[in-house]
Structure 1
Amino acid sequence: MRQPDIEIYLKDTDVDHKQVAAWLAEALGTCSEWTQKGLTWKCLAGNIPVTWLPKAVGKWNSLYLESDQTPWDDDIACARAAHAALQVEVRCAPGSWSEEHGEEDADRWIRISADGEEEITWRTQ
């Protein structure tokens, strides 16, 4: 089932929003000029609203695509594509998460890196 939006986390030391914009331009369409409000950067990639939050969780940058009209059905598909295109470690939730799933499920993540793909426990709070 297609997720209503996409959120992945990219390792900070390896990538910045300009590299992400180049990848998104290929995948989604030309990126508008980035605008910055506080620490948050925003643009449109094609017609998809994009938010980039550097160091959202420790050394990890958040990439949020606010649409269900991306080429990816879910966070994992997007994370795989980001890793392939950018050659950086990417983390994402294994599926949609909501409060009803409980705190333990909130710490379940998929890690995609040069070592492959694995489920990890990542305590983000």
Structure 2
Amino acid sequence: MRQPDIEIYLKEEFLDELTDWLQQHAGDVELGPWRGDIRRGVLQADTAIPLMIVRKAAGRWASIWFDSQATPWATDRDCARSVAAGINREVRCSIGGWEEEQGEANADSWMKVTAEGEEEFVWAQKS
């Protein structure tokens, strides 16, 4: 099932590798300037996809959010797999769509995705 948006997490030091990879494999990337820890832009794939990068979203991990269901990937995990294989870095994503109404039981359940494979883990993020 296609998710309404895509969000992955990548260590901040690899953001340039990500944007270079996106440019080569997904479409043109147009990024505005950093405004604090947030950078907004657009991925020009088959359609314009709003993109937001948030540094320090979870410690040294940046959030990369594609605000569209028209991405080249159907799910967060599909995107994480593609990026991890493309830049050979660990990418994190939720294990599936999560909404607040589902409660807190699985809110900290995440997936680590690398070129070698995938592993579920509990990412206990501090508030």
Is the pair's TM-score, using the shorter chain for normalization, greater than 0.5?
yes
CA distance in 1, matches of 2:64, 2:53: 5
Aligned to 1:44: 42
Aligned to 1:106: 107
**CA RMSD, Structure 1 to Structure 2 (Å):** 1.5
Aligned to 1:6: 6
Partner SS state of residue 83, structure 2: helix
Map 1:58-69; keep pairs closer than 5 Å: 58-69=59-70
Match of 2:32 among 15, 34, 40: 34
- Larger displacement relative to structure 2 (113-122 or 60-69): 113-122
* Contact 1:27-1:71 within 8 A present in 2 as well: no
CA distance in 1, matches of 2:91, 2:31: 24
* Contact 2:110-2:120 within 8 A present in 1 as well: yes
CA distance in 1, matches of 2:39, 2:9: 15
Question: More helix by proportion, 1 or 2?
Answer: 1
Aligned to 2:19: 21
Counterparts in 2 of 1:25 and 1:61: CA distance versus 1, 3 Å: same
Counterparts in 2 of 1:25 and 1:114: CA distance versus 1, 3 Å: closer
* Contact 2:19-2:29 within 8 A present in 1 as well: yes
| AA matched with 1:94 | I
With normalisation by structure 1, the TM-score equals: 0.90
Give ranges in structure 1 of 5+ residues lacking alignment. Answer: none
- Percentage identity across aligned positions? 41
Map 1:62-81; keep pairs closer than 5 Å: 62-81=63-82
Moved over 3 A (4+): none
Give ranges in structure 2 of 5+ residues lacking alignment. Answer: none
